Structure 1
Amino acid sequence: MVIPKKTKQTITENGWIKTGDVGKLSTDGYLTLVGRIKDMIIRRGINIHPSEVESSVIMHPAVKNAQVIPIPDYRVGEAVCVCVTLNEVCNVTEEQLKLFFDGKMSDAIQPYFLIFDSFPSGPSGKVDRMKLQKMAIGRIKLPDTPYAD
């Protein structure tokens, strides 16, 4: 029997299916899904799951929703960018949010870029992360030389 190429990429030799999900297994045997492999941000060799950063950002009372996306950075691989929408009655500055992040997440995963805006969505109503990334890259002035952390 000939197995198509895509099937070989999806099913392992032991019969396991590669879903593209990323999970963490606790010491007591519980599996928690934390994101998708294709959404992972790799910064200086560290794998950053957007959901880890998003869960810290949405703890701020002014933040209604947050999406974390990678921004290409030729020096460190990818920089972390968080796009936020605010609750209607709340207002917060970029500096206030960055101060809020201190102690809530490690320095390695803290966002370098912060954008306040609504999120583009696809036909299903889910956030279109590719469009969001293109929008963010278009708004961010990426330097010609490496920028400092």
Structure 2
Amino acid sequence: MPSQWARRWGYVAKDAPTGRCGVTIKFLHTDETGPVSDVTCWRDSWKDFDQCVWHADTDNKPRDDLAEARTEYPERLDGAIIQGNNMGSSISFANCRMNGAELTDANFSMADFSNAMLRYATLDETQFFQTNFSRANLSQATLEKVNLQNADLTHTPL
């Protein structure tokens, strides 16, 4: 279980079947855009972790593993942990819910986060050069030491 992240958002469901992630993101927040709903992840566990590739607390996850785990449709990726990765534009997160995600010390230059929900996300020390955040929701997100040069923030609440 990710320690810093767990204190803020989630826990592992005790009744999660073996081989399933079972991370539950419990949001206690309601703001001007409404409540952030709870969600439990039932994706397959990844490698030797009890969590899926999105919730495993480890740096530098293989980009191919993340790309394989990502569908072409909008997904609930609340609480996802992507640290130290050079993602670039290899994976689209358009229309995904990524509330409370930890996207830190990474490179998402030219990635697509359009219409994504990133409320309460931690996006510290990350490169978002020419990244598309149009109509994304970044309210209550932390953005310390980030590069947003030429990023599209059209209609994006911060």
The TM-score, its normalising length taken from structure 1, stands at 0.27
Structure 1 or 2: more strand by fraction: 1
Higher helix share: 1
Instruction: Report which structure shows greater RCO (CA 8 Å, sep ≥6).
Output: 1
